[in-house]
Amino acid sequence: MKKELRWVILICLGFAVCYSVLSVIRHLHFGSYGFDLGITDQIVWLYSILRAPITTVQAYPFTSILTDHVELMYVLIAPFYWLYRSPIMLLVLQAAALSFSGIPVYLLARKKKLRPVVCFALLVSFLMFYGMQNAVWFDVHSLSFGAAALAWFIYFLDAEQTHWIFITLVLAIISKEDVALLTGLVSAVYFLRRRDRNSLFAGIISLLYFAAIFGVYFPHFTHDGYRYATADGLGKHVSLSLFYDSADKRQTWLYSLGWFGFLPVASVLTLLPAIGDMAHYFVFAPNFTAAQGLFMHYRVTLGVLLALPTIDVISRWKKLNTVYIAIYLVVCALALQYVLHLPLSYLTKRWFWTMPASVTDIERGIRQLPKDASVVSQNNITPHLSERPLVFTLYPMTKDFTENSPCGVKTCDWLRWAGKPSYLIVDTSRDWDERSFLIPRERFITSVINLEKNGNIDLFFRSHETSVYRILHQPN
């Protein structure tokens, strides 16, 4: 077993290196965004210098991040910034946390007496899971750390290691406000099977925490309540059809179950936590469509929740515990990796390793900014500036002029921002798309020109298509 475990650690380490390279290269090439890496970096930096998590990057500037998400895990991560203060630290920590969550998955499979070859196949399939790849590719999110803690929680709960059960339970539920739903469902599954104290107490703690956050904290201690609820509240119009009423939802079901060869459907009880994970995006927040597809980070917890019923099915059906099921699991993962063209495949692409030409110009522009100056920037530049108390995001809009219109007509493309920053930095090259500009590139360029013509900004530095402006008058 010790020799096996060494191989498990080496495999996890290999994935950690690959995922770190993916996310760090993307960031260094200005492919990361203020939403969400810039927000997270600013918050962790503030915690690391013992300041309140008042974010200026997000859509609700000058408010505590805790009014948007309860992500107390970042308090524990903040000391890493004493070693190396950079978004890169967050990216590497996320990659490591997710990759080494393969260890408890492997240990759980071995505990259930799966053959080593099946355990290794399951480990590789789990670490390749599309939700994990997309989470690593799309900035940093507390849910990734929650998924890693959840994997360890499930293993320790199964192994009945009491102290570690509650340590990992706390780490999981403080990662993000809704992870307590998942730990509660997992605890319920184990309690139904074993009727044990650990499962009962873990379930009660999860339920109490979940109720305190959504029933007390958000309604009574935040100004806007829970911002991701529908207009008439969470769960007001629950219907089974909400599980599958869009192409994105059906595709998510297909590829999620297909990743593990549809084996999880044969264990209905242990599949319940995965169904609950899908339900809280599909059924209880049906208008939050960004969280219902395959991409971004929202499926990261689904990997471990589907690995659980996969292990259960193979352990119960002894005829499945063969080398053939190991091959089947790996083939399913590789086939969907090919079909979905997921981020791990980017490591083989020349475009991924090629630095965009404008990166050097942006870095030169950033060096022109005074160290502690307040700055507003476009979405993909923000994560490189977010360790400042006052860094803001550019938002597109239109503005009506009754006279002296800078664009020659009544309604002009325009930009707005919060606060009173001193500098504006933009790069308008074709290397970036609407995710960077939050608007089509041509309209973004027009907006900047209109601000300059109107006397709101004055050119301070230019290198090709990177421009740094002094802000003379706020545009609002």
- pLDDT tens profile 338-385: 999 999 999 999 999 999 999 999 999 999 999 889 999 999 999 999
Say what the pLDDT of residue 223 is: 84
Residue 310's closest CA among 350, 341, 265, 349?
Answer: 265
Q: What is the C-alpha separation between 55 and 74, in angstroms, rounded?
A: 14
Q: In this structure, how many other beta carbons lie within 10 angstroms of the beta carbon of residue 82?
A: 9
Q: Which residue spans within 268-388 are E strands per DSSP? A: 375-377
Which residues of the chain are modeled with pLDDT < 70? Answer: 230-237
Structure tokens at 219: 């309604």
Tens digit of each residue's pLDDT (9 = 90 or more) over 87-131: 999 999 999 999 999 999 999 999 999 999 999 999 999 999 999
Write the DSSP assignment of 406-453 as a string of letters: TTSSSEEEEEE-SS--SEEEEE--TT--HHHHSS-HHHHHHHHHHHHH
Q: What is the C-alpha separation between 421 and 391, in angstroms, rounded?
A: 8
Say what the pLDDT of residue 286 is: 83
Amino acid identity of 198? Answer: N
Contact 61, 420 (CB under 8 A): no
Query: Residue 107: left if φ>0, alpha if ψ -120 to 50, beta else—which one?
Result: alpha
